[in-house]
Structure 1
Amino acid sequence: MPTYALAQLTALACNPAQMVDLAARTGYDQAGVRLLPVAPGAVAYNLMDDPALLRETLARMDDTGVKIFDLELIRIGEGFDVERYLPFFEVGARLGAQAVLVAGDDPDHARMVDHYAALCDAMQPYGLSADLEFMPWTAVRDLDTALHIVNAADRPNGGILVDALHFDRSNSRIEQLADIPAHWLHYAQICDGPAQRPTTNEGLIKAARSERLLPGEGAIDLKRLWQALPQDLPVSVEIPHDVRVAQMGVEAWARAALVAAKGQVEYL
């Protein structure tokens, strides 16, 4: 059976210590934390500059047994400088994290390969994998592009993150998953979405960050997708929905998300 991690985006208002407590109360094995924002001014919890919150998070991990699995996020743009992320890696090692979500924003793919390889090299001593997530509004638009970059970099801790929503919206194909070497797959993110896809980048971003559906509620063929992935692959439950979280409360939403995720992954 896979392990399940509560993704930060599912409960974005919770700081890392609260994420650990929430994951423990709602039945998750692990949690993910967002240390750097997706965009300037966006929500993130900079444990690199908050030693008190870092200590509290470590204490809650000890008390509950819930581990931190993944860290968010590092963006590779044209001016990428890996040195500025060393404190991020150090905190990740203290948390015992295993994976880092990486986004690619550089349209020059040759330069992105070089920067991605440098990132992998810098992360390796900290026991972290660099999991490149393809998203249709970024420079890594689909699975083919992610495969090219990770293959060209050829690093032992390189990886590809398959997010169910982005997989569906990028017109990637189930058959392509067989092209991903097993050692590049460290975890996958589950959610669902409606059959009608947004037609603009703005619409895609809004749906991804605040309007995802519980697994089984939408039109993504999650069971077929998970049949094509390793059976024991860790699952990150990433299902933000601003309206429904406000209505239900974050704890009820996190619990419902886990139940729905298991219903798709474990009953294939």
Structure 2
Amino acid sequence: MIKEPLLHAANWTHAGDIRPDFADLASRVDIRERIDACSKAGFRGMGFVFVDIENALAKYAASDLNAMFADGGIEYLELEALMGWSAGDDKVVDDALRLAETIGAHQIKAVGEGDVEAPAEPMAPAFGRVCDRFADLGAKVVIELMQISNLDTLAKGRTVVEGAGRANGGLLFDSWHVTRCGIDVDEIAALPEGVFRATELCGVPREMVVPDRFDEMVDHRMQPDTGDFDNAAFVRGARSAGFDGPWGIEIVAAAHRALPVHEAVQRSADAMRAVLASSEAD
């Protein structure tokens, strides 16, 4: 029997009608509905921003929340996005660790600095310390390469991750950022095993849809079986680098947010399966 790939729905895929805004990231959709939508679509992994777990724990006991995950067949949990870690902000790491322990998180998504000119080399020791904090939980810490951060190239990301040298640390590759950062899939395929640790697929148009890169990033992504970026080739490159899931999807788009949550999540699951099937057939 062929094993069903573990599909992972990153936070914005199921957060409902909330546009990412650093001033207010909280979903307006009850976490129970989000879990139900992902469970029915066949997702076994879910990601959440930290505030959504804080809000859920204000409404539900931790034991009840964890029972919801278990009852929904959610086996893999991610928290995002860890910021300030490279400057030695112990509080943000402490808060993230507390939430990760509470829900048994498997993965913490970290991002680089907003100052795009900040050098990567000094971040490696700090990343190593962060990885060590989560190692006892058996949790990975993954850095998402992003066009809007100082870690916007594969070389910079490798500098931090390989400089830290931690077994539970690695890079997260997002289709949109891979495209907009100009990262070649062949470069990804040639990575040493253990560097590629997480993925978020989406559909990406070849040319920018709007001139503002933040607006494009949060309003104009598509399902991964559409767009100009070859997600099937991306999946094959990931496998060549030693990665084989969980296969994450992140749809951050105005059109996606406008749909009912169950419909939006089901569309994403169907698109992910189509891409994975295509990656095997090509």
On whether the aligned pair clears a TM of 0.5, the verdict is: yes
Q: Which of 134, 145, 160 in structure 2 is aligned with 1:134?
A: 145
CA 1:178–1:26: 2 relative to 1, 3 Å: closer
Instruction: Give me the identity figure in percent.
Output: 19
* Alignment of structure 1 residues 98-247 onto 2, 5 Å: 98-105=106-113, 107-197=118-208, 203-230=212-239, 232-246=244-258
- Quick one: which amino acid aligns to residue 13 of structure 2? T
Give the drift of 1:82. 3.0
Q: Which runs of 4+ in 1 moved over 6 A?
A: none
1:40 equivalent in structure 2: none
Tell me how far apart the structure 2 counterparts of residues 90 and 74 of structure 1 sit (CA, whole Å).
Answer: 13
Tell me how far apart the structure 1 counterparts of residues 56 and 89 of structure 2 sit (CA, whole Å).
Answer: 17
Secondary structure at 1:187 match in 2 = strand
Q: Which of 27, 40, 61 in structure 2 is aligned with 1:25?
A: 40
**Where does the alignment leave 5 or more consecutive residues of structure 2 unmatched?**
16-26
Deviations 1:197-232 (A, max 9, x none): 2686xx222222232101122111111111111263
Deviations 1:63-110 (A, max 9, x none): 222234211110146633235422422321332221111101061323
1:6 equivalent in structure 2: 9
1:41 equivalent in structure 2: none
- Quick one: which amino acid aligns to residue 63 of structure 1? D
Tell me how far apart the structure 2 counterparts of residues 70 and 216 of structure 1 sit (CA, whole Å).
Answer: 23
TM-score, reference length from structure 2: 0.83
Contact kept, 8 Å, 2:82 with 2:92, in 1: the verdict is no
Tell me how far apart the structure 1 counterparts of residues 137 and 206 of structure 2 sit (CA, whole Å).
Answer: 41
TM-score, reference length from structure 1: 0.86
Is 1:252 aligned with 2:251? no
Q: Which of 55, 63, 70 in structure 1 is aligned with 2:71?
A: 63
- Quick one: which amino acid aligns to residue 207 of structure 1? E
Tell me how far apart the structure 2 counterparts of residues 18 and 68 of structure 1 sit (CA, whole Å).
Answer: 17
Give the drift of 1:53. 5.7
Is 1:266 aligned with 2:274? no
Give the drift of 1:169. 0.7
Q: How many residues align?
A: 258
Give the drift of 1:187. 2.3
Give the drift of 1:116. 1.1
Deviates more, 1:45-54 or 1:96-105: 45-54
1:75 equivalent in structure 2: 83
